[in-house]
Amino acid sequence: MGAYLVRRLGLMLLTLFGISVIIFALLRLVPGNIVDILFDSAGMVDPKEKLKIMQDLGLDKSIPQQYLSWIGGLLRGDLGYSYVSEKPTLSEILPRLPITAKLAGMAIGFAVLIGVPLGVISAVRQNTWLDYALRVLSLSGLSMPSFWLGLLILMAFVATFGTLPIYTDPPKTLIDELLLLAVPAAAVGFRSSALIMRLTRSSMLEVLRQDFIRTARAKGASPAAVNFKHALRNAMLPVVTVIGIETAFLIGGLIVTETVFNIPGVARFLVEAIRWRDYPIVQNLVMFIAVVVVTVNFLVDMLYAVLDPRIKYSD
């Protein structure tokens, strides 16, 4: 187990190093930079002033020097300064992280609490009207973009209640914030719940045909014990994998959702930083997303051994 963990952690570090190189290179390949954007918007053409700003921002250095400076700052905990606001990157990112974390947590919670039970019900009631209805619902969820669903929800709220469930002033209490985030969380989690439901259904159908399920029924086990204790636990490995992937990549759905519902989270902030070529913000946010993805995949691998005792990570 110890040797496996060392190898796995080494692979994580190697993956993060490769991702950091790709992030840094792709940002520099995009035409234009923050200095060009600032000068174009202000109508300034003084080359000396432009050179001075590039020197202040460190953009006059070679690409390898800029990369080493960024990585060195990351290792020291210094994420640099935003080119636009001229504030420390940490002070710009940290206030937005809890908002996005709550929204993502509520979205994946909604997806799991809705997707897994409905997937079990659909498998147990195979080829009944309820199964067909749930399959149509899951296909609708997979086919419906989160931003379009968000717009439909906004229009429905306006037509029904005459108000919009968007983030304007900061909520006064945690309950108010959770209620405000519940609608966008459901909008972005609906697709994930549909995917989890379909995978749970197919995995459950495969397990329900196994011999040990028939043996459990023959011994007089209750339907709930057969479906949830025996079948669901053995069907959860592929479902856990998808839940981990959806958790890691949920930021992709949050970008448009935070924009539609005017939520001041890191996903919406990332779009604004990309538009302004604010390298420190973009680099650190994308690197943070990469760390989340790699970490979640590592935790999913570790969870396999907990769910299935047959899986052993030998040294």
pLDDT tens, 4-13? 778 888 888 8
Write the DSSP assignment of 166-217 as a string of letters: ---SPPSSHHHHHHHHHHHHHHHHHHHHHHHHHHHHHHHHHHHTSHHHHHHH
Predicted local distance difference test score (pLDDT) of residue 230: 78
Q: Is residue 151 part of a domain?
A: yes
> Do 76 and 103 belong to one domain?
no
- Indicate whether 270 pLDDT > 60: yes
- What is the pLDDT confidence band of residue 312, given thresholds at 50, 70 and 90? low
Does 313 or 266 have the greater pLDDT score? 266
Average pLDDT, the chain: 80
> Do 103 and 199 belong to one domain?
yes
Summarize the confidence of residues 187-205 as an average pLDDT.
Answer: 88
Q: Is residue 307 part of a domain?
A: no
Predicted local distance difference test score (pLDDT) of residue 241: 84
Q: Is residue 227 part of a domain?
A: yes
Residues whose CB is less than 8 angstroms from the CB of residue 239 and which lie 6 or more positions away in sequence, other chains included: 116, 119, 196, 199, 200, 203
- What is the pLDDT confidence band of residue 39, given thresholds at 50, 70 and 90? low
- What is the pLDDT confidence band of residue 44, given thresholds at 50, 70 and 90? low
Predicted local distance difference test score (pLDDT) of residue 38: 62
Summarize the confidence of residues 273-299 as an average pLDDT.
Answer: 82
For position 131, which CATH number holds? 1.10.3720.10
Q: Is residue 274 part of a domain?
A: no
Which of 83, 75, 78, 79 shows the shortest CA–CA distance to 57? 83
- What is the pLDDT confidence band of residue 35, given thresholds at 50, 70 and 90? low
Beta bridge partners of 88: 81
Q: Is residue 226 part of a domain?
A: yes
Q: What percent of the chain has pLDDT over 70?
A: 86
Does 131 or 57 have the greater pLDDT score? 131
> Do 159 and 252 belong to one domain?
yes
Cα separation of 125 and 83, whole Å? 57
> Do 131 and 217 belong to one domain?
yes
> Do 115 and 65 belong to one domain?
no
- Indicate whether 201 pLDDT > 70: yes
> Do 165 and 27 belong to one domain?
no
Among 38-42, 189-193, 294-298, the least confident range: 38-42
> Do 223 and 173 belong to one domain?
yes
Summarize the confidence of residues 119-132 as an average pLDDT.
Answer: 89
Q: Is residue 285 part of a domain?
A: no
Summarize the confidence of residues 141-170 as an average pLDDT.
Answer: 77
> Do 150 and 71 belong to one domain?
no
Count of domains observed in the chain: 2
Summarize the confidence of residues 125-149 as an average pLDDT.
Answer: 85
- What is the pLDDT confidence band of residue 309, given thresholds at 50, 70 and 90? low
- Indicate whether 69 pLDDT > 80: yes
Q: Is residue 295 part of a domain?
A: no
- What is the pLDDT confidence band of residue 66, given thresholds at 50, 70 and 90? confident
- Please return the burial class of 211, using the count of CB atoms within 10 Å of its CB with bins 0-12, 13-18 and 19+: exposed
Predicted local distance difference test score (pLDDT) of residue 311: 66
> Do 106 and 157 belong to one domain?
yes
Summarize the confidence of residues 14-24 as an average pLDDT.
Answer: 87
Among the candidates 57, 81, 105, a domain finishes at 81
Cα separation of 122 and 110, whole Å? 18
> Do 126 and 246 belong to one domain?
yes
Among the candidates 24, 49, 81, a domain finishes at 81
Summarize the confidence of residues 5-23 as an average pLDDT.
Answer: 85
- Indicate whether 282 pLDDT > 80: yes
> Do 51 and 157 belong to one domain?
no
Asked whether the whole model's pTM tops 0.75, one would answer yes
Summarize the confidence of residues 83-91 as an average pLDDT.
Answer: 80
> Do 106 and 254 belong to one domain?
yes
Which domain, by its residues, includes 63?
A: 2-81
Phi first, then psi, for residue 81 (nearest 5°) are -120, 145
Q: Is residue 204 part of a domain?
A: yes
Among the candidates 222, 242, 264, a domain finishes at 264
- Indicate whether 239 pLDDT > 80: yes
